[in-house]
Amino acid sequence: MTTSDEAASRVAALLRKSWCWPLVAIVVLLGINVLNDPDYLRISVNAQNGNLFGNLIDILRASAPIIMIAVGMALVVATRGIDLSVGSIMVVSGAVAMEFLKDIDSAQSIGAASAAVAIALVVSTLIGVINGLLITALGLQPFISTLIMMLAGRGIAKVITSGQNTNAQNEPFQWLTNGYVLGLPVVFIIALAIVGVIAFVVRRSALGLMIEAIGVNPKASRMAGIRPIGILMAVYMLSGLLAGIAGIFAVGSVMTVDVSRTGYQMELDAILAVVIGGTSLAGGKFYIGGAVMGSILIATLDKTIVFLGIPASATPAFKAVVIIALCLVQSRRVGSLFGRRRRRISPPSPTPHLVTEKEGVSA
């Protein structure tokens, strides 16, 4: 009997992990695909260079930019904010990189590629800084400040490329998204590495707690000696930087920036991934592991919809349905229907909450 209790509690603990439900959803979606094509999950090895390819690898590759913006969004949402400008920052970053590489015009130069990456990231961080300044220095609502940036960002990208869809040639730059390391796509490994560093920094230092404290109660956190201005600036800067990286990933595979489509409506993907990963939009907590798993789920959803032959332009409708369902599940009215279950989960003792989070990140 004790063993069965232990097993049950272990299962319950697993179900409470932020990345558990997205994982279940991914398995379901992949299952649907397998029913349509039994070979869907097959991963083949390219005999010449030992690289893996297959639908699963494609999904991982496609999830990399979403992971970047979702992790940034998770931190922003934890402070009770929102960053609606990530999609526009992506296109600005891509436009800057492509214009730079087009002017340099040296297809092999690693120096040119790294310079393009550096400039693109500086510009995107700068947009993040502007977002942060509007919110902290001027005290504007996060959603309106970043909405303005979302509006202006695409205009800025169009000005940078003079309204054209700029393309350029540079192999090292393209390797970032299309290349392989140890048989896995470089882009996914870079994304995981960046997320690992961020997760380590915010969870092993007090930074993560401070970010959550601002979201729980801005006034109380200020009285506890946390300076919201610095933290908020850092969070929006990081979100801008990560969106810039996502922009490089987005333009790298085809080496073209499409000023009206690159990063278009990606902010919803980021919000969706964050919410799927268990982070409440009310702020006060974040789950990086959940956001990563949520991003992979969205990439899987995108691929599944295309695979099933539904026009790709219809994907927003599916995402909207998912996000509405999630919001309903999170809402108190639906929660009260499952009152007994919620009461067991809800006591907000900070220590166990932190522990599950660390496990979620390290896994």
Interaction site with other proteins (CB under 8 A): 82, 134, 138-141, 143-144, 147-152, 154-156, 158-159, 162-163, 265, 268, 271, 281-282, 311, 313-321, 323-324, 327-328, 331-334
Give the separation between CA 129 and CA 237, rounded to whole angstroms.
5
Spell out the residues 6+ positions from residue 309 whose beta carbon is closer than 8 angstroms to its own: none
- Cβ proximity to other proteins, 130 vs 237, nearer residue: 130
Tell me the closest approach of the beta carbon of residue 138 to other proteins, in angstroms.
6
Give the separation between CA 338 and CA 336, rounded to whole angstroms.
5
- Cβ proximity to other proteins, 34 vs 144, nearer residue: 144
Tell me the closest approach of the beta carbon of residue 54 to other proteins, in angstroms.
28
Give the pair of three-digit tokens for residue 304. Answer: 């599944």
Tell me the closest approach of the beta carbon of residue 219 to other proteins, in angstroms.
16
Give the separation between CA 353 and CA 350, rounded to whole angstroms.
5
Tell me the closest approach of the beta carbon of residue 133 to other proteins, in angstroms.
11
Q: SS3 of 236, please?
A: helix
How many H-runs (helices) and E-runs (strands) does the chain carry?
17, 4
Tell me the closest approach of the beta carbon of residue 325 to other proteins, in angstroms.
10
- Cβ proximity to other proteins, 150 vs 245, nearer residue: 150
State the Cα angle at 188 between 282 and 183, rounded to 5°: 155
Give the pair of three-digit tokens for residue 96. Answer: 């800057």
Tell me the closest approach of the beta carbon of residue 25 to other proteins, in angstroms.
17
- Cβ proximity to other proteins, 219 vs 333, nearer residue: 333
- Cβ proximity to other proteins, 18 vs 131, nearer residue: 131
- Cβ proximity to other proteins, 13 vs 329, nearer residue: 329
Give the separation between CA 263 and CA 246, rounded to whole angstroms.
9
State the Cα angle at 73 between 87 and 317, rounded to 5°: 60
